[in-house]
A and B are shown apart, each in its own frame.
Chain A
Amino acid sequence: MTAELLWRTREPAPSYDAVVVGSGGHGLATAYYLARDHGITNVAVLERGWLAGGNMARNTQIIRSNYLWEASAGIYEHALGLWEDLENDLGRDVEFSQRGVLNLAHTTHDVRESVRRVNANRLNGIDAEWLSPEEVKKLVPIINISPELRYPVMGATYQPRAGIADHDEVAWAYAAAADRLGVHLIEGCEVTGFQRSGDTITGVHTSRGPISTGKVALCAAGHTSVLLDTLGLRLPLQSHPLQALVTQLLEPVIDTVVMSNTVHVYVSQVEKGELVLGAGIDSYNGYGRRGSFSTIEHEIAAAIALYPVFAHAHLLRTWAGVVDVAPDASPIIGLTPFNGLYVNCGWGTGGYKATPGAGHVFADTVANDRPHPLAEPYALERFTTGALIDEHGAAAVAH
């Protein structure tokens, strides 16, 4: 019996209607929605490494939409709505599990910010609740809610519809669905620059030769800024390592996702038993896919204070993804000063959870050559007009 491949291996054609740069979750989703919703099926997704082997392979799988500002609530809730129908839509299991996400509050400031965010979420039609420490303990029996802790649990926000999904399965499901619609997924093909005629982009240079196209959609995270440097277009982006780790397989001890910004650790337990723990970003710029031990030390110290039972767990491996952070901790989606060139980047720590929503609104933006209504606030121009969407400190995770 021959295993059925999820997508076909393609040679790059000399020309496409649209080229997507980067085959992470966002690139694959963008190509899928270009084909499904806009009838643009003559599309190539160009990937310098292997499919979904970059940051898509290096996140902690958390999905939620409990952001503060209206623009953020709009796009992340749009994504969550798509997540809720994703398995049906793509025809594959992605282990989507709406187990709920708690964001802990550890200071009186945290409490005020969190309650404000719960109210903002509700006004935006997003499910959100404020829980007391005792209510947190009911949902997470292993948590330490002793007031003796240096950063005691003073309550938590709770989004029941939030959860996790398997990142690899998500990428493969999008890849298979895009391939079925005729999209070419081309791995080992690095985009090195652009062909242009004046201010119009006419194609890309790649490690496997030139490809002409009328539309180039960049989904390359921090490398988007590296690529755009070749056009003299500077983006307000900084790349940072963001670390995570997993333990050995354990009996089920936690069946929801618990995040904490103040002490900076977040945890969930995947189906087969590993605890997946995430940290904050390393402060310095970096493209290396490993961060500093000091960040891991802080993360583990926080985890053991909150969940003493974790002291028994053995660490299996650590890794880092590279997050591209904009000054207001919000994405940049939209047109550029070049005709036919579109950017989707700056997602920082929010990229994975946004995957379907980002792909959906970005495909619409690329296909129609104008921002999707949900993408409008995320234009590059906001840094000149000053209309920032400041999710720093509001997004329930530090950047």
Chain B
Amino acid sequence: MLLIPCPWCGPRDEAEFGYGGQARVAYPEDPWALDDAAWAEYLFVRDNPEGWFAERWFHRAGCRRWCDVMRDTATNRIAGSGPTGAELPEVTR
């Protein structure tokens, strides 16, 4: 069970959250400039690391805000969190 540090509510049970996948995947600045391969990349391809991963969680049973969390996908250790787009701790194994 993950204990997710909501930047506003503090550490809360994972069951209070919804998962939003990889953090900071920006909508294309100029969508008309994208070819099919670039669209495929934007729509379908995300990082899938075995290790540290910046991801989004939505505190749906709490403050109902999105936050970014740095979590290790192999160990579930969480290095830190912040509002979306905030600096997250740089982590090395």
Contact = CB atoms under 8 A, between A and B. Distances in A.
A222 B44 CA distance: 15
Contacts of A225: 48
Interface string A268-300: 000000000000000111111000111000000
A115 interface: no
Contacts of A223: 50
Interface in A319-334: 324, 327
A386 B75 CA distance: 35
Contacts, number: 67
Interface in B62-76: 71, 73-76
Contacts of A237: 48
Contacts of B41: 234
Contacts of B9: none
Nearest to B18: A283
Contacts of B71: 284
A386 to B, nearest CB: 8
B73 A287 contact: yes
Interface string A228-241: 01000011111100
Interface residues of A, number: 26
A292 B47 CA distance: 22
Given A284-B2, A385-B36, A236 B44 contact: yes
B48 A383 contact: no
A283 B19 contact: yes
Nearest to B69: A284
Given A284-B19, A284-B55, A285-B53, A327 B44 contact: yes
Contacts of A229: 49
Interface in B17-65: 18-19, 21, 36-37, 39-41, 43-50, 53, 55
Contacts of B15: 292, 294
Which of B13, B18, B76 has most A Cβ within 10 Å? B76
A226 interface: yes
Given A284-B19, A384-B37, A294 B55 contact: no
A235 B73 contact: no
B14 A286 contact: no
A313 B28 CA distance: 53
A238 B1 contact: no
A232 to B, nearest CB: 12
A226 B39 CA distance: 22
Given A285-B55, A292-B2, A239 B73 contact: yes
B1 A285 contact: no
Contacts of B55: 284-285
Contacts of B45: 234-236, 383
B76 A286 contact: yes
Contacts of B49: 226, 229
Contacts of B18: 283
Interface in A218-277: 222-223, 225-226, 229, 234-239
A222 to B, nearest CB: 6
Given A287-B73, A327-B44, A385-B36, 14 more contacts: A223-B50, A226-B48, A226-B49, A235-B45, A236-B40, A237-B48, A283-B18, A283-B19, A284-B55, A286-B74, A287-B50, A287-B74, A384-B40, A386-B36
